[in-house]
Amino acid sequence: MMTDPVITTLNEALAQAAAEVEQALDDLLPMPEGPESRLVDAMRYAVLGGGKRMRAFMVMETASLFGVDRRCSARTAAAVEMLHAYSLVHDDLPAMDDDDLRRGKPSTHKAFDEATAILAGDALQTRAFEVLAEPDTHSNAEARCELIRAFAHASGAAGMVGGQMIDIVSEGRELTAEQIGRLQALKTGRLIQFSAEAGAILGRANPMQRHLLLSYGRDVGAAFQIADDILDVEGTAEDVGKATGKDAAAGKATLVAVLGLERARAQADALSAQAAHHLDSFGEKAQHLRSLAALVVARKS
């Protein structure tokens, strides 16, 4: 239970950012007329009204360090959430992880059908890039292109999708802790890392500031993933909102399996502390981001 006053403040800030990104998503995905409305319906189903919006929060908080207009950072955050949602929609497909449940409700292919889910994921990815390219996201086109490049690098073959491929190829194989770390860095880490870097790009930060936020994102992402694996072992489906114990059942390699619970937890805590440390030079303004680093390893869902 989060009764610590710092965490309460963080939860308020998380709720505030979630509300802003929810509004941005709603605005950015208007329902069309005609039979293609089914597609947008599925896109909205997949991305609206769910999730902790941690990635969105990181975009908005890192952007706020540089005084970026919150409407601009909310658009960028919405693009990240669209990208994340598309990856979940495709991940849940029968040919992939075959998950019927996502955030406590039917996965997109169960609520609609497989073809619609494939297309909705595809179009969410497209829309994410489109939003970043629009002038409302940043007045400077160089910044928008830089945002798109970093976003694509984090989410494509050299990032998230590459990590999903490694995950599939590795199923049933024994991996070393290093190999698992790399898999997770690509599969979930890169997009979380981008979420922290995005604020620096939007804020035209200097290279050192950008590097520090990128490092923060990298460590928070790694800590988050270990915490996720711990939850998969310890949590109940009710708490987590999706099936648990699946990693072990699927023979998926996790750091918990290789290191054991205690050492995995210690590593997550060390990464969380290290993440906060990267923020030292940002002072008081970065307090929410520090609290977030603590929250990701303390969360129960």
Q: Is 246 exposed, middle or buried (0-12, 13-18, 19+ CB in 10 A)?
A: middle
Shortest separation between residue 38's beta carbon and its own copies, angstroms: 6
For its own copies, give the closer residue by CB, 8 or 126. Answer: 126
Shortest separation between residue 33's beta carbon and its own copies, angstroms: 11
Contacts of 162 (CB under 8 A, 6+ apart): 156, 186
Stretch that binds its own copies, among 8-16, 57-65, 90-98, 263-271 (CB under 8 A): 90-98
Stretch that binds its own copies, among 4-12, 67-75, 87-95, 288-296 (CB under 8 A): 87-95
For its own copies, give the closer residue by CB, 153 or 277. Answer: 153
Shortest separation between residue 40's beta carbon and its own copies, angstroms: 6
Contacts of 190 (CB under 8 A, 6+ apart): 153, 154, 155, 159, 160, 163, 221
43 belongs to the binding site for its own copies (CB under 8 A):
yes
**Residue length of the chain:** 301
Task: Return the bridge partners of 10, or none.
Answer: none
Contacts of 180 (CB under 8 A, 6+ apart): 253, 254, 255, 258
- Hey, what are 241's tokens? 């909102």
d(CA 35, CA 30): 14
d(CA 60, CA 18): 10
- Hey, what are 88's tokens? 């979940």
110 belongs to the binding site for its own copies (CB under 8 A):
no
Q: What phi, psi does 205 have (nearest 5°)?
A: -70, 160
Among residues 6, 93, 111, 259, the one that binds its own copies under rule CB under 8 A: 93
44 belongs to the binding site for its own copies (CB under 8 A):
no
- Hey, what are 282's tokens? 């940002």
Shortest separation between residue 167's beta carbon and its own copies, angstroms: 9
Per DSSP, the three-state class of 105 is strand
- Hey, what are 146's tokens? 């830089």
Strands (E), 107-221: none
Per DSSP, the three-state class of 203 is coil
Q: Which of 165, 258, 146 is nearest to 204 (CA)?
A: 146
145 belongs to the binding site for its own copies (CB under 8 A):
yes
| Of residues 155-194, those binding its own copies (CB under 8 A) | 155-158, 161-166, 168-170, 182, 186
257 belongs to the binding site for its own copies (CB under 8 A):
no
Among residues 12, 100, 113, 280, the one that binds its own copies under rule CB under 8 A: 113
For its own copies, give the closer residue by CB, 64 or 188. Answer: 188
How many residues bind its own copies (CB under 8 A)? The answer is 54
Stretch that binds its own copies, among 11-19, 139-147, 246-254, 266-274 (CB under 8 A): 139-147
Stretch that binds its own copies, among 149-157, 228-236, 258-266, 292-300 (CB under 8 A): 149-157
CB 61, CB 13: distance < 8 Å: yes
Stretch that binds its own copies, among 64-72, 93-101, 200-208, 272-280 (CB under 8 A): 93-101
35 belongs to the binding site for its own copies (CB under 8 A):
yes
Residues lying near its own copies in the complex (CB under 8 A) are found at 32, 34-36, 38-40, 43, 86, 90, 93, 95-96, 113-116, 118-119, 121-123, 125-127, 129-130, 133-135, 140-142, 144-145, 148-149, 152-153, 155-158, 161-166, 168-170, 182, 186
